[in-house]
């Protein structure tokens, strides 16, 4: 009889110990998965910021002027059209997606994991009043983690 009671107590202790270890492992696994998702969204923000910056830089270097009549300045929902001889590229926000168009083709510049919450364009002029480029601020927000944001502010000049 005493051996059976001791075995029952041992079994209960082993089960309790197993539950504690199981709880720690499950908590760690959930935390690891959450950290991986957060890192994935941070990487998406960085990737989109680099791509948009590069795309804008290339467009401004190929262009020779801003089309002020078709641009919206000093607004978080701005629009900028850069002109090059007989063609142009226009950047604008639509449903929190940064888009670019040349009048024929329209492309999304950001992926589905990132929302653009700010696209502010400020034209830069030289002493003679000629527009030489633009200061553009873009704010990205992770789709599933709105607390994760990335804001870039860059000056883009014509060549």
* Total domains, the chain: 1
Q: Smallest Cα–Cα separation from 91: which of 2, 154, 15?
A: 154
Domain that holds residue 127: 2-157
Residues 46-86: tens digit of each pLDDT: 999 999 999 999 999 999 899 989 999 999 999 999 998 88
Helix, strand and coil percent figures for the chain, each rounded to 5: 40, 35, 25
> What's the pTM?
0.82
């Amino acid at each position: 009889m005493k051996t059976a009671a001791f075995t029952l107590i041992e079994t209960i202790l082993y089960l309790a110990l197993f539950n504690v270890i199981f709880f720690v492992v499950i908590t760690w696994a959930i935390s690891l998965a959450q950290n991986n998702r957060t890192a994935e969204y941070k990487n998406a923000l960085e990737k989109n910021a680099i791509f948009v910056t590069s795309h804008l830089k290339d467009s401004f270097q190929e262009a020779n002027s801003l089309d002020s009549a078709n641009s919206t300045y000093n607004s978080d929902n701005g629009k900028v059209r850069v002109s090059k001889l007989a063609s142009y590229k226009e950047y604008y926000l639509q449903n929190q997606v940064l888009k670019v168009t040349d009048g024929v083709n329209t492309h999304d510049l950001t992926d589905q994991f990132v929302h653009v919450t700010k696209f502010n364009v400020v034209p830069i002029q030289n002493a003679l009043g000629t527009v030489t480029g633009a200061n553009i601020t873009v704010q990205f927000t992770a789709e599933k983690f709105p607390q994760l944001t990335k804001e870039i502010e860059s000056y883009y000049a014509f060549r």
